[in-house]
Amino acid sequence: MTSALSSTVKRYLRRLNQWWLKTPDRALDEAYAAACKIRSIEENHFNGDRISPDVGNYGEGTQAYFQGELKKNLETARLRLAEFKTSNSVVRLSNARITEVEVDDRSGEANVNIIDKPALIFKKLRFIDDVLDRYSPQRYTPTRRAPLVVTATDPSSDPAPLGSPAPGPPQTPRSTAPRNDVASFADKTGVLPRSILRTVDRIRRELDPKAEDQVVETFRDSKVRTFVSLRFILILVIAPLLTQQVAKNFLVGPIVDQSRHEDSAIIFLNSEMEEEALEELSRYEEHLRFKALIGQIPAISSEEMESRIKEKAAEIQDEFYWRSSDSIKNIFADFLSVLVFAFVLVRSKAEIAVLKSFIDELIYGLSDSAKAFIIILFTDTFVGFHSPHGWEIILEGISRHFGLPASRDFIFLFIATFPVILDTVFKYWIFRYLNRISPSAVATYKNMNE
């Protein structure tokens, strides 16, 4: 039963790993297919120009159909391109060349095609960027562009020969890169009140003839930025947890269980575990004697009492043996999960910039009362009057997780220093940044805190 369950879990994890490794290729192919559909409509119905009501002599129903197809494929291309960029930062695509053998049904001759995968990826990205740029209000120009080598009717066309020069690297997608023309909320400071500046800027934007296009484009950028940020947060949470569980149960666990023998292995990793076992055994003995004295169970002889205590001692031994093994597994599994977390952070600089922009917009877009409420809740939880009890529970739980003795001196020293440092950082952030960005939020915070 156990072996069948283990093989099923391994097979499922193998399939999940294969699906995850194919995510960049799958996302790029879907984005490329959507771009090809747009280019096919342009070539067949709009003479190679943009899909627009100003081009072609079509009725309202036909134009609505074309606009619906355009909107659907543009969203698919943008989202899949963002998915490709996010997944490619974690799962690197192979640079190997692909060899395909085609056999002619009539002549029976075999044709060998060698595909340079990086060149094919760059060509698809260039084609997708060209299609998306045609529908960007900031970048589009009415002049016709020269057609690309990649045709829109054949998404699976082979790349250029190996002897031809490889295309340049693809441009970073606009939707996932941080916008340089929009200042961060933390930099919006000036002499005049920000409310007056926002009002003037809103009037100027409403009078702009391209205001509608800019609003739509801003909404699309915000939508993709939110999608990329939430996806990146899920990766940061799921990847370490999945690594910890898989490593603990299928990699580190079997090695630890095989190296530790019940006859020679150390049962108690520290003195606190031994004291806890002795206390549990003593409590069991006293419980038996008490139940015998009040008549709930028959009187127990000394030999029977000793036999029951030995059975309980064997149960406690097995329990603490597996607790010690589990603590050793946690050390190595958590170390691997930390490495995976650091690897994701190192390979995701663009996603981190997008996430920072998303968090800035989310936090600084809150009302003053909401900002003050969050600050008070966070500070009272971690640096408030009752916070030492919470830190003590957290540190003891971490020590128990790794099988380490909970040093009271270290815990008290940590509680006496770390919350103070954290409180100082909070006060500096409120004085240095929040006081300049939102003085009304600071005033609300002081009134609520008093």
Looking at the domain assignment, is residue 80 inside a domain? yes
| Model confidence pLDDT, tens digit, residues 83-115 | 788 777 665 555 555 544 454 555 555 454 555
Q: How far apart are CA 117 and CA 127, in angstroms?
A: 15
Looking at the domain assignment, is residue 8 inside a domain? no
> Do 234 and 161 fall into the same domain?
no
Among the three residues 363, 383, 415, which one is the final residue of a domain in this structure?
Answer: 363
Looking at the domain assignment, is residue 303 inside a domain? yes
Q: How far apart are CA 277 and CA 36, in angstroms?
A: 69
> Do 357 and 226 fall into the same domain?
yes
Q: In terms of pTM, does the model score above 0.75?
A: no
Picking from 138, 389, 132, 317, the residue whose alpha carbon sits closest to that of residue 381 is 389
Domain range for 57: 20-174
> Do 192 and 92 fall into the same domain?
no
Looking at the domain assignment, is residue 7 inside a domain? no
Q: Determine the average pLDDT of the residues in 309-327.
A: 91
> Do 271 and 395 fall into the same domain?
no
> Do 300 and 415 fall into the same domain?
no
Helix segments in 90-249, DSSP class H: 117-134, 194-207, 211-246
> Do 207 and 77 fall into the same domain?
no
> Do 58 and 160 fall into the same domain?
yes
Looking at the domain assignment, is residue 5 inside a domain? no
Looking at the domain assignment, is residue 9 inside a domain? no
Count of domains in the chain?
3
Among the three residues 174, 204, 239, which one is the final residue of a domain in this structure?
Answer: 174
Q: Are strands 110-116 and 97-103 parallel, antiparallel or unpaired?
A: antiparallel
| Model confidence pLDDT, tens digit, residues 190-225 | 555 666 777 777 777 777 777 777 777 778 888 888
Tokens linked to 149: 């080598």
Considering 241-255, 257-271, 355-369, the range whose residues carry the highest mean pLDDT is 241-255
Looking at the domain assignment, is residue 411 inside a domain? yes
Q: How far apart are CA 400 and CA 323, in angstroms?
A: 9
Question: Please, which pLDDT band fits residue 150 given cuts at 50, 70 and 90?
Answer: very low
The yes-or-no verdict on residue 137 having pLDDT over 50 is: yes
> Do 354 and 383 fall into the same domain?
no
> Do 195 and 69 fall into the same domain?
no
Looking at the domain assignment, is residue 386 inside a domain? yes
CB 325 within 8 A of CB 300: no
Distances (CA, A) of 56 to 3, 50, 130, 311, 331: 66, 10, 22, 89, 67
pLDDT at 232: 92
Distances (CA, A) of 207 to 195, 202, 212: 19, 9, 10
Among the three residues 123, 149, 174, which one is the final residue of a domain in this structure?
Answer: 174
Considering 55-69, 182-196, 247-261, 389-403, the range whose residues carry the highest mean pLDDT is 389-403
> Do 166 and 232 fall into the same domain?
no
> Do 283 and 140 fall into the same domain?
no
In degrees to the nearest 10, what's the CA dihedral of 36, 37, 39, 41?
Answer: 160
Distances (CA, A) of 242 to 43, 87, 106, 340, 365: 47, 16, 52, 10, 33
> Do 322 and 417 fall into the same domain?
no
The yes-or-no verdict on residue 162 having pLDDT over 50 is: no
